[in-house]
Amino acid sequence: MSITELGTQFNLKGRDCVELTDFSSEEIQYLLDFAIEIKRKHKNGEEYQPLKGKTVGLIFEKSSTRTRVSFEVGTYQLGGHALFLSKNDIQMGRGETISDTAQVMSRYLDGIMIRTFGHENVVELAKHATVPVINGLSDLAHPCQVLADFQTVLEHKGTLKGLKLAFVGDGNNMANSLLIGGAKLGVDVWIASPEGYEADAAVVAESRTIAKETGARIELVRSAAEAVQDADIIYTDVWASMGFEEEQKIREAAFKDYQVNEALASLAKPDYLFLHCLPAHRGEEVSEGVIDGRNSLIFDQAENRLHAQKALMAALIG
């Protein structure tokens, strides 16, 4: 199937990506296949520019390395123009309502990406915008990262359904989106977190409802060893995400038994994949032996942010 045929297999044009619940299981699988094909085309030097003549606004309330660079480069490679807008560049940072911002920007832009704190900001923006809105990260969800994560796993494992993914650490936005994405794709997701740091209860309930249809298993446990036992994928993230830096010392104590190190990783399958959304605090949530080891795919994973987001933008905006 050509990339043009693949790109039109599902009609997602004009849709939003607030969380992966916005898409069916089949649509998410399609986005992953589309991303892999876009990546192949890019590596072969073949031009693919469905965003030619289009502009995507990138709103950043949180600073970023991978999100900013991958969205700007991805928009350019698809033939479009990316407009970086920090909170200091637009009136939303000075009290203009999200509703007004959404309606004005919709008159100028063909799509909007927002990286913010409160998830309600993404929901409100999508509600009032008349162009596609993509959640580049909120405190509740990180759907773009999870698309790149499962693209990486698919490239290396050849399949997703029936795999066991163990997430060890804070039940943050990454844990939340992995639960939804895993449930949608038939991946068993085990979350190991200390008391008080569990994944969002509503997200857990929703993922379990989805999992009944796909056959996935969703488990929340206290023991990191129980989660990692026979896992195909081990995933972790920093213990104090952006906005929680003042809790660093408290979290270090709470998470002291949740480091992904060689001893813990030995419980997984020998060919397990190690993933981390980065940036990493080496020696804290993960040992250097694991993050730099032969099972680590952190840089493949980071690269795939570019290709997964290109697929998403091509499908929604192109």
113 assigned to a ligand binding site? no
* pLDDT of amino acid 161: 98
Other beta carbons within 10 Å of 235: 24
* pLDDT of amino acid 263: 98
Instruction: Give 231-279 pLDDT, tens digit per residue.
Output: 999 999 999 887 778 899 999 999 999 999 999 999 999 999 999 999 9
Can 107 be counted among the known catalytic residues?
no
Instruction: Give 109-164 pLDDT, tens digit per residue.
Output: 999 999 999 999 999 999 999 999 999 999 999 999 999 999 999 999 999 999 99
Can 301 be counted among the known catalytic residues?
no
Q: Catalytic: which of 188, 277, 307, 309?
A: 277
Q: Catalytic: which of 139, 149, 170, 237?
A: 237
Per the prediction, the chain carries an average pLDDT of 96
237 assigned to a ligand binding site? yes
The answer, yes or no, to whether residue 7 has pLDDT greater than 70, is no
17 assigned to a ligand binding site? no
305 assigned to a ligand binding site? yes
Can 142 be counted among the known catalytic residues?
yes
Can 22 be counted among the known catalytic residues?
no
Can 9 be counted among the known catalytic residues?
no
> Which backbone phi and psi does 114 adopt, to 5 degrees?
-130, 135
pLDDT category of residue 92 using cuts at 50, 70 and 90: confident
Whether the Cβ atoms of residue 124 and residue 98 lie closer than 8 Å to each other:
yes
Q: Catalytic: which of 15, 68, 145, 309?
A: 145
What's the whole-model pTM score? 0.96
